[in-house]
Each structure stands twice: as structure tokens, then as C-alpha cells.
């Protein structure tokens, strides 16, 4: 037997062994409309009078009975070359689609599978295959793009909602299984059918966050809110989307801060000198370094450098001179110690230094280098530089 397929979801097409038979109807809108009505209302109770009213409306110039009979007769004649003359049958004197012969109609297979999956509680291979078949069948809403009457709206809405319920069910099972990439795929496909479904948009963004696609999630949120704004009664500051925005914004901001600070910390400003800081920071650096250096087996040494005047003087000008020479000593320390060393002024005439090094002798060499450089650059007499060094 030849394979007859009927597509009503997203488009209208009838094929026989892969070849469309619709061209055989010519440009007759009424023949096409008759087939569509019979297919969609396969299980509905309607009369020939209902058919006539749908096809001709209030046209009083045509006899209802003869007009409908003539249309069906011409349709059967058009389909006879395909051996489809009996595709329309009569049941209780009412014209019907002959589904006893041909049952491959996408919308009814879709309805059957969606009903079967409604109570699915596990995502086994069989159920997953059926879910995928549902998504393959639903290529769009019922007779999408086809001019029709108000009779089609309830049917179309019924299948649309059934599709969304099935998509939500599939995503629920995928969530339980932790299959976030699949959720992403299914949510995107379902949103092609209904881009305004709030739950689908939320599930899509949830999957994006789980896959560390925070920027994409934020972009999708902004797109969703922008798309909803023109809709009457929609308030993006209320309900689930608003709650989700706060959560998503926090995730997005945290990631942005993390990336910015990481870039800043990694930035090399070219300064190869020792760090000069106040005593409070000096103490914090000591505490942090001690925790790390103990694990690495390196000793921290504390050095105290003292500048002493050989002659006594308490005048303001002498105090200013001491401060100036301490500034020179700070510069000498900064440029003669290593980048990992830390310097802090401690009182009017002393500096503290933290030297992470392997031995006392290495630390002494470093401070001796500072002392020699200081005497070389400082030509002011009556000041003596001395130092003490101890392991911490």
C-alpha cells in the first residue's frame, strides 16, 4: 500500500510516497478548506450543515446539499488518479475523513504521544525517544499560516498548550538527570514555538548558569524582558522573572568583578622594587606570609634599621633634616631590596623590613647592601646607620 502522510502542524501537506497531492486540487480554496476541516475535526460531532456554513457562510445563492455534494464529488475526482477517491467517506450521511484507511496524521500521533508521556517519571531510553518524536512532529501550531475561521482557534490553542506541557515535562526529567546541555537544546526549540513562555525562558537561563554561560544568560534575560515589554499587563519587576533577575544579576556582577580584579592583579606595572607600606599593612603582610612560608619551608626574617645622630640636637631644623635623611634611607631600601620584601617606617628614626629568605646570612647580606648604598648616596655627616636581624 502506498504511504500517505498528512501534516497539519506548522503547515498543511498531504503526500503520497513522498509526493504532494495538493497540486491536484488546483487553486480551489474550498477543496483545501474542506480537507482541513475534516482532518482537524476527525473526532468531532458536526453535520453537513456545519460544513456548508463553514465553506459558504451566509451565501443564499447556493443550495447547501447540492453545493456540498458537488464539491466532494469534484474532490474525489481530483484524487482518483492517486487511488485516493475514497479518502472522504460518509458516516450517518455526514462527510468524514476515512481514517480507517490512512492514519498517519501528525497531529493525532502527537496527541497520542503527549498523553502517554504526561505521567512519565523517569527518563529512560524509550521515553527519551518518544519525547524526541513529539518535538519532531510539532513543527508549529495547527495549520499555522493557513486562513481559517474561528473554529480553528480552540483546537490550535489546545495543541499549543499540550506541546508546552510536554516540553515542561521533558525539561523536568532532564533537570532531575542533570542534563543541562539537553535542557538548553529543548528549551531553545520550544521557545521557537512560544517565545513568551516564562517557564521556558527561566529553564533556559537556569541551564545557561549551570553551564557557566552567565553572560549568555544575562543577555537572554535582557532580550526576554525587552520582548515582553510591549505586552499589556506584563510587569518584568514582578513574579518569577523579577526574582530570577536579581539572582542572575548577582551572578553576573560577581563574575564581572572577579574577571576585572583578576586582570588587575595579574597586571605587571613594571615595579621591581620592595613594597613600602604603613605598619598596619606591614603586620598583615607578615601574618599572611608566615602562613604561606611555613608550608614552603622558608624562614621570614625581621630587620630593624636605625638612623642615629652622633651629635645631640633638638631644634626644628635638625628634626626636618632627620626626616629628609629618613626619606633618603627609604628610597635606598626600596631600590636595593627585592620585590618580595616589605618596608615600613617605625618611629622617627627606624625602618622595619620583612625579608623572606633561606638563612640569616642571606638577610644580613641584603641589609649590608642597603647600608653601603646609603653611605654612598648620603653625604650628610653625623648620622650612623645600624641594623639588627632576627628570624621570626
pLDDT: is 380 or 22 the higher one? 22
Flag whether pLDDT at 234 surpasses 50.
no
Shared-domain flag, residues 153 and 189 = yes
Specify the CATH number for the domain of residue 30.
1.10.10.10
Shared-domain flag, residues 185 and 323 = no
Query: Which pLDDT value is given to residue 236?
Result: 47
Shared-domain flag, residues 147 and 15 = no
What's the domain range around 80? 4-97
Shared-domain flag, residues 80 and 176 = no
- Alpha-carbon distance of 163 to 170, in angstroms, equals 11
- Alpha-carbon distance of 80 to 73, in angstroms, equals 11
Query: Which pLDDT value is given to residue 1?
Result: 59
User: Number of structural domains, the chain?
Assistant: 3
Output the average pLDDT for the chain. Answer: 83
Shared-domain flag, residues 112 and 232 = yes
Minimum mean pLDDT among 218-232, 295-309, 360-374: which range? 218-232
Shared-domain flag, residues 210 and 193 = yes
Shared-domain flag, residues 379 and 321 = yes
Confidence of residue 255 (pLDDT cuts 50, 70, 90): low
Specify the CATH number for the domain of residue 345.
3.30.70.270
Shared-domain flag, residues 143 and 245 = yes
267 assigned to some structural domain = no
Shared-domain flag, residues 85 and 130 = no
Q: Of 54, 80, 97, which closes a domain?
A: 97
Shared-domain flag, residues 63 and 143 = no
Predicted TM-score of the model (pTM): 0.63
DSSP for 281-320, written as a single string? HHHHHHHHHHHHHHHHT-EEEEEEEEEEESS----HHHHH
Shared-domain flag, residues 199 and 82 = no
Minimum mean pLDDT among 130-139, 156-165, 184-193, 383-392: which range? 383-392
For residue range 86-133, list pLDDT tens digits in order. Answer: 889 888 889 998 877 767 899 999 999 999 999 898 889 999 999 999
Q: How many CB atoms within 10 Å of residue 144?
A: 15
164 assigned to some structural domain = yes
Shared-domain flag, residues 304 and 234 = no
Amino acid at each position: 500500500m502506498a504511504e500517505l502522510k498528512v501534516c497539519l502542524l506548522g503547515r498543511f501537506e498531504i503526500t503520497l510516497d513522498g509526493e504532494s497531492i495538493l497540486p491536484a486540487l488546483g487553486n480551489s480554496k474550498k477543496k483545501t478548506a474542506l480537507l482541513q476541516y475534516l482532518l482537524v475535526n476527525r473526532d468531532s460531532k458536526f453535520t453537513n450543515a456545519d460544513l456548508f456554513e463553514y465553506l459558504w457562510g451566509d451565501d443564499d445563492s447556493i443550495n447547501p446539499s447540492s453545493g456540498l455534494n458537488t464539491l466532494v464529488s469534484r474532490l474525489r475526482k481530483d484524487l482518483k488518479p492517486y487511488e485516493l477517491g475514497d479518502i472522504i467517506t460518509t458516516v450517518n450521511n455526514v462527510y468524514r475523513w476515512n481514517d480507517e484507511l490512512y492514519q498517519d496524521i501528525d497531529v493525532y500521533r502527537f496527541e497520542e504521544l503527549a498523553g502517554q508521556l504526561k505521567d512519565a517519571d523517569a527518563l529512560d531510553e524509550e521515553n527519551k525517544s518518544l519525547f524526541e518524536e513529539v518535538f519532531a512532529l510539532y513543527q508549529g501550531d495547527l495549520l499555522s499560516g493557513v486562513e481559517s475561521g474561528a473554529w480553528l482557534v480552540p483546537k490550535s490553542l489546545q495543541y499549543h498548550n499540550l506541546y508546552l506541557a510536554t516540553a515542561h515535562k521533558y525539561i523536568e526529567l532532564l533537570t532531575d538527570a542533570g542534563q543541562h546541555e539537553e535542557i538548553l537544546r529543548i528549551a531553545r526549540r520550544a521557545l521557537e514555538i512560544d517565545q513568551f513562555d516564562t517557564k521556558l525562558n527561566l529553564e533556559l537561563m537556569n541551564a545557561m548558569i549551570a553551564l557557566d554561560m552567565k553572560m549568555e544568560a544575562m543577555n537572554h534575560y535582557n532580550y526576554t524582558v525587552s520582548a515582553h515589554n510591549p505586552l499589556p499587563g506584563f510587569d518584568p519587576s514582578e513574579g518569577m522573572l523579577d526574582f530570577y533577575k536579581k539572582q542572575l544579576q548577582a551572578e553576573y556582577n560577581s563574575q564581572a568583578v572577579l574577571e576585572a580584579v583578576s586582570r588587575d592583579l595579574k597586571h605587571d606595572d613594571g615595579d621591581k622594587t620592595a613594597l613600602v607600606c604603613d605598619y598596619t599593612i606591614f603586620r598583615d603582610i607578615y601574618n599572611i606570609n608566615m602562613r604561606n612560608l611555613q608550608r614552603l619551608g622558608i624562614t621570614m626574617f625581621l630587620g630593624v634599621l636605625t638612623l642615629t645622630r652622633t651629635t645631640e640636637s633638638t631644634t626644628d631644623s635638625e628634626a626636618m633634616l632627620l626626616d629628609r635623611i629618613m626619606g633618603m634611607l627609604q628610597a635606598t631600601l626600596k631600590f636595593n631590596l627585592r620585590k618580595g620584601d616589605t618596608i615600613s617606617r617605625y618611629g622617627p628614626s627606624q625602618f622595619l623590613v620583612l625579608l623572606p629568605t633561606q638563612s640569616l646570612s642571606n638577610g644580613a647580606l641584603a641589609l649590608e647592601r642597603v647600608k653601603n648604598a646609603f653611605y654612598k648616596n648620603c653625604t650628610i655627616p653625623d648620622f650612623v646607620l645600624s641594623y639588627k636581624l632576627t628570624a621570626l
